[in-house]
Structure 1
Amino acid sequence: MKNKAGIALLLLLFIFQGSFIRVEAAKQIDYKSAEFKAVASQFSCTCGCGQDHFECDPNTCNLTKQFKKDLVGMMNKGWDKDKIRKYYINIYGEEILTAPEKSGFSLTVWVLPFVILFGAAGTLYFVIRKWVKKKGTDEQSVENEFDNEQNEVESEILSSMIDEERKKYL
C-alpha cells in the first residue's frame, strides 16, 4: 500500500513538474514576441541611426545585437518593462528614451519649444496687423489732406465767382 501511494505521489510530482517546465518554457521571450517589441521600442539606438532598438537592423549595427540580447536575457529572468526602463535610464540617462517622461522637467523641455513657437506666431500676427492698420490710417490722412486742399481750391473758385457776379450787379 505504501508502495502504491509512493508511486502515485511520485507520478503526480512528475506530472506537475512537467507542467511547470512547460509553463516556464512558454514564458521564454524571443526577438519576435510582442512583449519584446513593447520593451525594445521604448529605447533609441545609440548608433546614430535614429531608430528604436526594435527597428534598428542588427545586420549593420553591433550595438543593437548586444542590446537585444541583454533585453531578452532580462525579460527571461522576469524583469518587467518598468524595471528595465529604470535600469537603462540609470546607465544612459533619459536621452536613450524614444519618448520623454510624462512628468517634470522632461515634459517641460519637450513642450516649451512649441509654446514659444505659437507665442511668437501670435505676436507676429498682432504686430503685422498693427502695421497694416497704421498704414491704412496714413493713407486716409493723405487722402483727407488732398480733400482739404481740393475743398479750399473749390471754395476760392466759388468765392471768386460770387465776387464777380456781385460786381456785375452792384
Structure 2
Amino acid sequence: MIKKLGMYVFLLLMLPIGVSAQTYDYNSKVFQRIVNQLAMQGHKEHDLATCTVKQKYYKEVVDMLNKGMSEKEILNYYVEQLGEQALVVPQKSGFSLTAWIVPVAIFMFGAFVIYRTVRQRGEN
C-alpha cells in the first residue's frame, strides 16, 4: 500500500507543474475576430502604425484577452461604454434586430408590389 502511494506521488511530481495560460497577441485568431467587429470610433480603416486610437483599441483588446475575458465579454464591454455604434454591424438582438428585419421586409413588400403591378398590366 505504501509503495503504491509512493509511486503515485512520484508520478504526480513528474507531471508538468506549471500550466501556462494562453497569451494573445495581434496575430491570434480570436483577437482578429474581435477587432474586425469593432468600429473603433471611425478609425478602423486607419493605419495601425500611425493611428493612436486604433493602437489604443488593439492594446485594450489584447489586455482583456490576456486577463481571461471572452470575445462576448469584450464586445459587451465596448457596447456598454459606447453603445451599438461601437460595433461595425449591429447585434442581432433586442432593438438592433429591427436594423436587420426592416430592410428585408421593405424589400419583400416592394417585390410584392412590383409583382402585382406587372401581373395586373399583363391581364389588361
TM-score between both structures, scaled by the size of structure 1: 0.56
Q: 1:30 to 1:122 in 2, by over 3 A?
A: same
Corresponding residue pairs, total: 110
Aligned to 1:72: 62
Q: Deviation per CA, 1:51-82, whole angstroms, max 9, x where unpaired?
A: 5xxxx530343211110011111111121112
Q: 1:48 to 1:124 in 2, by over 3 A?
A: farther
Q: 1:106 to 1:81 in 2, by over 3 A?
A: same
1:107 lines up with 2:97 in the alignment: yes
Q: 1:70 to 1:125 in 2, by over 3 A?
A: same
Superposition deviation, residue 48 in structure 1 = 5.4
Of 106, 109, 113 in structure 2, the residue corresponding to residue 116 of structure 1 is: 106
Larger relative contact order, structure 1 or 2 (CA cutoff 8 Å, min sep 6): 2
Of 23, 27, 37 in structure 2, the residue corresponding to residue 32 of structure 1 is: 27
Tell me the distance in 2 between the aligned counterparts of 1:72 and 1:37: 10
SS in 2 for 1:46: helix
Higher helix share: 1
Give the percent of matched residue pairs that are identical in Structure 1 and Structure 2.
Answer: 32
Within 5 Å, give how 1:8-157 maps onto structure 2: 16=17, 19-20=18-19, 23-24=20-21, 27-47=22-42, 51=45, 57-134=47-124
TM-score between both structures, scaled by the size of structure 2: 0.73
Tell which structure's C-alpha radius of gyration is larger: 1
Residue 77 of structure 2 aligns to which amino acid in structure 1? Y
Residue 39 of structure 2 aligns to which amino acid in structure 1? S
SS in 2 for 1:42: coil
Tell me the distance in 2 between the aligned counterparts of 1:43 and 1:102: 15
Structure 1: 5+ residue stretches without partners: 1-11, 135-170
Structure 2: 5+ residue stretches without partners: 1-12
